[in-house]
Amino acid sequence: GQQLNQSPQSMFIQEGEDVSMNCTSSSIFNTWLWYKQDPGEGPVLLIALYKAGELTSNGRLTAQFGITRKDSFLNISASIPSDVGIYFCAAVRSNFGNEKLTFGTGTRLTIIP
Amino acid sequence: SAVISQKPSRDICQRGTSLTIQCQVDSQVTMMFWYRQQPGQSLTLIATANQGSEATYESGFVIDKFPISRPNLTFSTLTVSNMSPEDSSIYLCSCTRDRTYEQYFGPGTRLTVT
């Protein structure tokens, strides 16, 4: 089935560093979403993207909807300890009556003291 | 957004038994979904819970094993039937509002089958 490949699989960074991660697919999607999941919690929606080329920010987070509609990127500036967690991309093809999300494989972010 | 609660938050069950997980949303929503997730792994959609009709199951998931109810626009249940250790996982419900694709998730139910 459809699959979204996230890269990198894991990241080890120091506090204050910027972070970049991406999500790619062989298929076209019309909506891209980015989630963060903390241990023992459900995923929390960070950013939603609806137009190819769109660049959207949420505080220190910035995400872009790739122009080919086959990828998306998430950047985190000046990382802080609470950024630790697993980040998932998700996408929707927007077929009429089909609102299912396809989830990426996840990027685990760890901050090294 | 939406505030979603799930009960129980965790449970340890014996094989062969069944567990019903409840999902409650703070206001009416159009669609509700049930997912399964192994710790640290991605989410796998089990089914879409439709209000007033049968749930729509994804490939590999069947109604006899995972019966779902959705009696109204704020509540749904997922039952994991005749459990085996392979059913040990985190079960999450989510919802969307109106005609957006933004899904909001509950905190999950961590199930361990012994």
Asked if the Cβ–Cβ distance from B31 to A99 is below 8 Å, we say: yes
- pLDDT above 70 coverage of chain A, percent: 95
**Residue A83 pLDDT > 60:** yes
Q: Which residues pair with B91 in a beta bridge?
A: B36, B109
Instruction: Give tens-digit pLDDT for B39-90.
Output: 889 999 999 998 888 899 999 999 999 999 999 999 999 999 999 999 999 9
Closest CB from B1, B92, B102 relative to A33: B102
**Residue A97 pLDDT > 70:** no
Put simply, whether B108 touches A (Cβ < 8 Å) is yes
Size of interface A-B (CB pairs under 8 A): 52
Taking every pair of C-alpha atoms in chain B, what is the biggest distance, in angstroms?
41
Instruction: Give tens-digit pLDDT for A46-63.
Output: 999 999 999 999 999 999
Q: Considering chain B, what is the average pLDDT of its residues?
A: 94
Asked if the Cβ–Cβ distance from A88 to B43 is below 8 Å, we say: yes
CB atoms within 10 A of CB B83: 21
Residue B1 to residue A79: CA distance in whole angstroms: 25
Residue B6 to residue B96: CA distance in whole angstroms: 16
Residue B35 to residue B50: CA distance in whole angstroms: 15
Residue B70 to residue B50: CA distance in whole angstroms: 6
Mean pLDDT across A58-82: 97
**Residue A104 pLDDT > 80:** yes
* pLDDT (0 to 100) of residue A98: 61
**CB < 8 Å to A41, chain B:** 107-108
Helix (H) or strand (E) holding B45: strand B43-49
Ordered DSSP codes for A54-79: -EEEETTEEEEE-TTSSEEEEEE-S-
Asked if the Cβ–Cβ distance from A40 to B96 is below 8 Å, we say: no
**Residue A72 pLDDT > 90:** yes
CB atoms within 10 A of CB A91: 27
**Residue A99 pLDDT > 60:** yes
CA atoms within 13 A on the CB side of B46: 26
Residue B98 pLDDT class (50, 70, 90 cuts): confident
CB atoms within 10 A of CB A101: 24
Q: Which residue of A has its CA nearest to B47?
A: A100
Which of A37, A87, A88, A107 would you mutate first to test chain B, the one with the most B CBs within 10 A?
A: A37
**Residue A1 pLDDT > 60:** no
Instruction: Give tens-digit pLDDT for A4-35.
Output: 999 999 999 999 999 999 999 999 999 999 99
Asked if the Cβ–Cβ distance from A103 to B101 is below 8 Å, we say: no
